[in-house]
Chain A
Amino acid sequence: MVHVSATPVLALRGVSKRFGAVQALTDVELEVHAGEVVALVGDNGAGKSTLVKTIAGVHPIDEGVIEWEGRAVSVGKPQDAQNLGIATVYQDLALCDNIDVVGNLYLGRELRRYGVLDEVEMERRSRELLSTLSIRIPSVRIPIASLSGGQRQTVAIARSMLGAPKLVILDEPTAALGVEQTAQVLDLVERLRERGHAVILISHNMADVKAVADTVAVLRLGRNNGVFDVKATSQEEIISAITGATDNAVTRRAARTSEAQK
């Protein structure tokens, strides 16, 4: 772990969320510190996406408290979360294919000079941002459509960095990416941590989690099912927390294959 401060940037205390008859989240606790990558894992339907959306202000919470740098805050709409300094990169990247990289980075917050788009300044700052994040793309002036999936993901993450957020939430950033591209994105996550951002990383991929996360928070059926220090925990322990039992499909398979090898 790198420079973990005493007061968490974001803390959830007993957060609950209901959708009609469905209790999506029950008494969930979560803490994220500056310079820390927290992996949020859990099976499909465990409540990961709902939890992220409550933090991002898409779904206001029903019960519990959201603390931001030690103060209780109310996050009722996406704008509130953005104003606090929370940036969210959703799984579907929300980039415009026909617009170039600079245009996408600054979409909705274009820099102007005498009321006219300041392309020069936007391009200069885009280059600066991409180079501080060591993002390598062919040109900042080609349309997003020309980029590979991994490059698009890095552009989407870079876009979230423009508002200088304190907390970045990445929803399955490596899903559907190749080996090389996954490595690029994981590198980028590490760079965010080095720069002192708090990161919440949602992932199904245990290898990714082991590679970059400091802490793993497991959700199961809308409840906390353990918070683990990645360095001190084996992959099997995390999986058993996700599935809720030590006897599960993954361990049975592991046992079968080890028997077969004997």
Chain B
Amino acid sequence: MSIDKSPAPAGGRHRVGTAEAAHAAHEAVTAVDPRLLVREQGVGGYLADFKRRLHAGDLGSIPVVIGLILICAIFQSLNSQFLSAQNLSNIAVTMVATGMMAVGIIFVLLLGEIDLSVGSVSGVSGAIVAVLSVTHGMNEWLAVLAAIAGGAVMGALHGFFFARIGAPAFAVTLAGLLFWLGFMLQLLGSQGTINLDGDGIVGRLTTYYFSDVAAAYGLAALAVAVFFVSASTDARRRRAAGIPSRPLGDIVFRTVLLAAVSFAAAYMFNQYKGLPLALVLFLAVLVSTDFVLRRTAYGRKIFALGGSVEASRRAGINVTAVRISVFAIAGTFAAVGGLFWASKIAAANQSAGAGDLLMNVIAAAVIGGTSLFGGRGRTWNALLGVMVIVSIQYGLALEGIATPIQYMITGGVLLATVVIDSVTRKTQKTAGRA
């Protein structure tokens, strides 16, 4: 989006229709077309921009943020424990397992494909660690590496059958779902459950907290500082190159918003046990995968494949290689998620990766705003989506509402999200922004 630094014609950001307005905009930035979408500065500009996006169906994360606020308000009114530091902190730790897997599935969804095997792959990952480190006494670090590498290999296998052989990803990963489930049961053997050392590497993934108050505040301060410096450096480079840049007021506004959220979260964590290690790792994954997707040529290739396979092929992109690598990434994050899952229950057991886990992972990605139609989404969607799902689970658990109702409500939320996705897509098509 281009942003005009000069005073824009009244009415803010919209297609400038009148001749005078067009002329004014043209004089302001001669290199830019007068029909450019211009945004007014200040709060009015944001409001006008928001209205335009609402009409165009370009909602981004707005529905899910509103949904999250609603969920918090409802559960808080039912039970004042919901917004307690302890409950929120537990939600933050529990959501990491599903969230990690959702990050992987977002890569696949960006291609416009689906991976149904992530639940089973995560189960295999937990079983590998348990069997290698507990049964065979292997160094736990090596066992963890083996589990993650195993996930990558399993994902790459699915990718191979999809990209190289040309079998539909849906069918290949459905076969994977069943095969790896059987593989996991075979690994666990007759015992069925292998308990993990609660103080081991995997055990501490979800139980370790940085209890020093400075840790949470330090991370919040670091995030805010990095964001501000990178945004203003980028704006300076753009100004130097003579192309439209984000105005300083805009950057400051976003920085303040980020600071408010981060420091509030840090304060909340410090009221309980401190900053959870699991959340730090999850945020690190989100930041790095977001960087890969939006700032590297590899990420651009993934979006291109989600947009048009033929165009990508003609642009010289190795379609097969990118597809296989994306499924390998999904497998890797499924394995990572499996480790957090095993950590949560301090064991590898037969029910790992089963039940509603797969559906929750896909739901988290989609609820967060990743399109099922490919080419649209960010890994940060995983954070928002998984917060919604886990908040519902915890809220209902606080109320003592049984699992059947939980399933029905989560199913309802997923349906609502898919409906929003499809409707926005339609609106975007008519507004020419699909």
Q: Do A and B bind each other?
A: yes
Which residues in window 379-420 of B have CB below 8 A to A? none
Q: Which residues of B contact A245 (CB under 8 A)?
A: none
Q: Which residue from A93, A108, A116, A147 sits with its C-beta under 8 Å from B296?
A: A116
Q: Which of B31, B237, B312, B434 contacts A120 (CB 8 A)?
A: B237
User: What residue of chain A has the Cβ atom nearest to residue B237's Cβ?
Assistant: A120
B297 contacts across to A, CB distance below 8 A: 110, 112, 117
Please determine whether B433 and A127 come into contact, CB atoms closer than 8 angstroms. no
A96 near B316 with CB under 8 A, answer no
- Choose one: A97, A124, A142; the contact of B37 (CB below 8 Å): A142
Interface positions of B from 68 to 98, Cβ below 8 Å from A: none
A139 and B296 within 8 A (CB): no
Whether, in the assembled complex, B300 has its beta carbon less than 8 Å from a beta carbon of chain A, the answer is yes
Residues from chain B with Cβ under 8 Å of A92 in the complex: 310
Contact A107 to B237, CB < 8 A, known contacts A117-B296, A146-B433: no
Query: At the interface, yes or no: B23 with Cβ under 8 Å from chain A?
Result: no
Quote the shortest CB–CB distance from A145 to chain B (angstroms). 5
Once A141-B2, A145-B432, A145-B433 are accepted as A-B contacts, the answer to whether A108 and B316 lie under 8 Å apart by CB is: yes
A107 neighbours in B (Cβ, 8 Å): 300, 304, 311-312, 315, 317
Contact among B37, B296, B312 for A96, CB-based, below 8 A? B312
- In angstroms, Cα B242 to Cα A124, docked, is 7
CA distance A98 to B39 in the complex (A): 22
- Judged by a CB distance under 8 angstroms, whether A136 is at the interface is yes
B66 is an interface residue with CB less than 8 A from chain A: no
Residues of B within 8 A of A121 (CB): 241
A150 at the interface (CB under 8 A from B): no
How many Å from the CB of B16 to the closest CB on chain A?
10
- Residues of the A chain whose Cβ atoms lie less than 8 Å from the Cβ of B136: none
For the complex, give the distance between the alpha carbons of A107 and B322 in Å.
Answer: 14
B375 touches A139 (CB 8 A): no
Q: Does A20 contact B (CB under 8 A)?
A: no
The CA-CA distance from A95 to B237 in the complex, in Å, is 28
Question: Is the Cβ of B311 less than 8 Å from the Cβ of A94?
Answer: yes
B175 to chain A, nearest CB (A): 30
A95 to B15, CA, bound (A): 24
Contact call B375/A96, Cβ cutoff below 8 A: yes
A58 shortest CB reach to chain B, Å: 11
| Count class of interface residues, chain B | 35 or more
Evaluate contact between A96 and B434: CB separation under 8 angstroms.
Answer: no
B198 at the A interface (CB under 8 A): no
> Which chain B residue lies CB-closest to A113?
B237
The size class of the interface chain A forms with chain B is: 35 or more
Q: Please indicate the chain B residues that have their CB under 8 angstroms from the CB of A196 in the complex.
A: none
For window 95-139 of A, CB contacts with B under 8 Å fall at 95-99, 103, 107-110, 112, 115-117, 120-121, 123-124, 127, 131, 136-139
- Given A107-B311, A120-B238, A138-B36, check contact A96 B433 (CB 8 Å): no
- Assess the A108–B315 pair: CB atoms within 8 A: yes
- Mask: chain A, 74-103; 1 = CB below 8 Å from B; 0 = not: 000000000000000010111111110001
A109 to chain B, nearest CB (A): 8
| Chain B, Cβ-Cβ closest to A148 | B432
* Cβ A120 vs Cβ B33 within 8 A: no
Q: Provide the main secondary structure of the chain B interface.
A: loop
Alpha-carbon distance A115/B296, docked complex (angstroms): 7
Complex interface bits, B418-434 against A, C-beta within 8 A gives 1, otherwise 0: 00000000001100111
Which of B238, B295, B297, B306 counts the most chain A CB atoms within 10 A? B297
Cα–Cα, bound, A5→B311 (Å): 35
- On whether the beta carbons of A124 and B312 are closer than 8 Å, the reply is no
Q: Are B1 and A137 in contact (CB under 8 A)?
A: no
User: Judging by beta carbons under 8 Å apart, are A124 and B303 in contact?
Assistant: no
- Check if A139 sits within 8 Å of B237, measured CB to CB: no
Q: Does A140 contact B (CB under 8 A)?
A: yes
Q: Could you tell me the distance between the alpha carbons of A161 and B234 in the complex, rounded to whole angstroms?
A: 28
> A143 at interface (Cβ–Cβ under 8 A)?
yes
B307 touches A97 (CB 8 A): yes
Cα A124 to Cα B243 in complex, Å, equals: 6
Q: Is the CB of A116 within 8 A of B33?
A: no
A123 CB contact (under 8 Å) in B243, B296, B314, B375: B243
Contact A94 B295 (CB under 8 A): no
B234 to A120, Cβ gap below 8 A? yes
Chain B residues with CB under 8 Å of A117's CB are 295-297, 300
A139 near B37 (CB under 8 angstroms)? yes
Across the interface, B33 reaches (CB within 8 A) one of A94, A99, A138, namely A138
Q: Closest Cβ of chain A: how far from B276's Cβ, in Å?
A: 30
Task: Check B33–A136 contact: CB distance below 8 A.
Answer: yes
Contact A146 B432, beta carbon cutoff 8 Å? yes
Residues of A within 8 Å of B234, CB to CB, are: 120
Contact, CB under 8 Å: B37 / A138: yes
Write the chain A residue with the least CB distance to B373: A98
B238-252: which residues lie under 8 A (CB-CB) from chain A?
238, 241-243
Residues on A with C-beta less than 8 A from B375 are 96-99
User: Interface residues, chain B, CB within 8 Å of chain A?
Assistant: 1-2, 15, 31-33, 35-37, 234, 237-238, 241-243, 295-297, 300, 303-304, 306-308, 310-312, 314-317, 374-376, 428-429, 432-434
24 A-B pairs with C-beta separation under 8 A? A93-B311, A94-B310, A94-B315, A96-B304, A96-B308, A98-B307, A99-B303, A99-B307, A99-B375, A108-B304, A110-B300, A116-B295, A120-B238, A120-B241, A120-B243, A123-B241, A124-B243, A127-B31, A138-B15, A139-B1, A139-B36, A140-B2, A145-B433, A146-B433
